[in-house]
């Protein structure tokens, strides 16, 4: 089976779910707590490609799930066992629950049928969250992983999904990390070993909205 045929089989709308990872205003938005990451996500086209994938998923009846990382103002339940968590707690923009920072960033459009899963802990959208149970209830066989960052949360999501038995597809131009040249190296040397790597356009080609039959002429 060639790459295109394999991808088309993996991305069948009745068994695929699109996951966006931390595509929230406080991470990739204009007032990001991580301006370097936000700049790369935008300049590379990754954020725009996530938006294109979400729009295509809506049109093809593919379930979209947005994974959001947030924090209580009092910090209860948050991790403190790594330098990353301690640094995040000191950032000028906090991902506080209910704030603008944890809303999905433009140009991604959230539809009524989308699911949003919020977590207060950890590095992965899947570990210790409702995501696995939701995916199984949705009949998911293939998880399409997009978003940020290629440094931490995205590889965590990919590994967790593979360990849980899902097939994973990663549109390489719809994820971003810092520095910018780290992402292609990480895809080539790490994610390509466990996931199917594709482009946004390849995924869009598999999720083209079916053409409506022309109305009969009177």
10-residue mean pLDDT profile of the chain (218 residues): values are 92 98 96 95 98 98 98 92 88 92 97 97 95 98 98 98 98 98 98 98 87 48
Per-residue confidence (pLDDT) for residue 91, from 0 to 100? 87
Per-residue confidence (pLDDT) for residue 208, from 0 to 100? 86
Write down how long the chain is. Answer: 218
| Contact yes or no for 176/183 (Cβ under 8 A) | yes
| Contact yes or no for 174/107 (Cβ under 8 A) | no
Per-residue confidence (pLDDT) for residue 58, from 0 to 100? 98
Q: For residues 92 and 70, give the distance between their C-alpha atoms in angstroms, rounded to a whole number.
A: 14
Task: Give the angle subtended at the CA of 13 by the CAs of 136 and 216, to the nearest 5°.
Answer: 140
DSSP 178: S
Per-residue confidence (pLDDT) for residue 213, from 0 to 100? 47
Per-residue confidence (pLDDT) for residue 218, from 0 to 100? 43
């Amino acid at each position: 089976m060639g790459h295109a045929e394999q991808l088309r089989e993996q991305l069948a709308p009745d068994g695929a779910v699109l996951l966006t990872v931390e595509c929230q205003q406080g991470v990739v938005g204009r007032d990001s707590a991580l301006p370097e990451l936000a700049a790369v996500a935008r300049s590379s086209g990754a954020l725009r490609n996530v938006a294109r994938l979400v729009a295509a998923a809506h049109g093809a009846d593919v379930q979209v799930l947005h994974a959001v990382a947030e924090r209580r103002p009092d910090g209860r339940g948050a991790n403190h066992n790594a330098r990353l968590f301690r640094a995040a707690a000191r950032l000028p923009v906090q991902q506080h629950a209910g704030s603008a920072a944890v809303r999905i960033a433009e140009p991604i459009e959230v539809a009524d049928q989308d699911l949003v899963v919020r977590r207060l802990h950890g590095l992965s959208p899947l570990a210790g969250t409702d995501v696995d149970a939701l995916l199984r209830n949705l009949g998911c066989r293939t998880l399409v992983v997009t978003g940020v960052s290629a440094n931490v949360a995205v590889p965590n999501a990919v590994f967790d999904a593979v360990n849980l038995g899902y097939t994973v597809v990663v549109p390489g131009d719809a994820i971003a990390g810092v520095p910018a040249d780290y992402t292609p190296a990480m895809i080539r040397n790490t994610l390509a070993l466990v996931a199917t790597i594709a482009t946004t356009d390849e995924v869009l080609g598999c999720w083209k909205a079916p053409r409506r039959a022309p109305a009969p002429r009177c």
